[in-house]
Structure formats: structure tokens, C-alpha cells
Amino acid sequence: MPSIVDIAVQNDGFSTLVAAVQAAGLVEVLATGGPFTVFAPNDDAFAKLPPGTVQTLVDNPPQLARILKFHVVSGIWHKDDMAQQATLTSLEGSPIPIRTEPIFEVKNSTVLAADIIASNGIIHVIDNVILMG
């Protein structure tokens, strides 16, 4: 079974996320660590950011790593498991608001695809990059 990183690399819709994970130095952690739940912004989500934002973050790896860690939670959280949770704590340390009904949402983002199983966790594809605060 492929890892979280393998799934992202094999899917054309995650090229920006893959580049960001590489720039932040998080490939090894997300490829071999875990288990993790990853709220993975697709390329369209990154495209919604103001022009130049992605490049600014790539040029600042510590800030980029902090934002990416906000998209990751320890453990495996299926959609049904999150139904009883108002928030989950990210690896970055901040709470992430969760709502599964009537629409599955993570902070200000809608989950487009849930419960994608990887060898070291689970992925939920989201339509916005989520930020702390």
C-alpha cells in the first residue's frame, strides 16, 4: 500500500502540495512516520491563494512547514470518527475546527474526497489551504 507521500506524488492534482512538502523538508516524516491524518489541499486550493503567496512560503521553509503541519493530525481519523469531535489538534499545535454534517468541513474548507487510506495514515482532500488563527 502506498504512503501518504506516494499517493500525493502519484496524483497530478497535488503537484503544488508535493512541491511545498519538499521545500519544507517534510517528505521523510510524511513518507515514513505516522500514522497521520492529512487534510490535503489540491492544486486548485493553492491557486486560490493571493498571487505570489506560494513562492513566498517556499522561500520561507520554517513558515511553510508550520502551515503544512497545520494540515496534519496524529493518528488515523476517518470521517465517521470525526463526527464526535468539534476540533482536532494539528501537529503545528493549533486546533482545527471539524464539522461532518451537513457538509464535511475542516475549518474554512470543504472536504472533496474523504477516507483515502495510505500505509501510514489517511488523506482527506480539501478545497482551500487552511491557516492558523
Indicate which CATH number applies to the domain containing 111: 2.30.180.10
- 132 belongs to a structural domain: no
- 110 belongs to a structural domain: yes
pLDDT at site 116: 97
What's the structural domain count of the chain?
1
- 44 belongs to a structural domain: yes
- 131 belongs to a structural domain: no
- How does residue 2 score in pLDDT terms, banded at 50, 70 and 90? very high
Q: What is the pLDDT of residues 6-46, one digit of tens each?
A: 999 999 999 999 999 999 999 998 988 899 999 999 999 99
DSSP-H helix ranges across the chain: 4-10, 15-23, 27-32, 43-47, 53-58, 61-69, 79-82
Is residue 16 a contact partner of residue 56, using CB atoms and an 8 Å limit? no
Looking up cell 521545500 gives 23
- 133 belongs to a structural domain: no
Please give the sequence-ordered ranges of beta strands (E in DSSP) within the chain, or none if there are none.
36-41, 72-74, 87-89, 95-99, 105-106, 109-118, 121-126
Domain span holding position 11: 4-126
Q: Which grid cell is 23?
A: 521545500
Rounded to 10°, the helix 15-23/61-69 angle is: 120
Q: What is the pLDDT of residues 47-96, one digit of tens each?
A: 999 999 999 999 999 999 999 999 999 999 999 999 999 999 999 999 99
pLDDT at site 92: 96
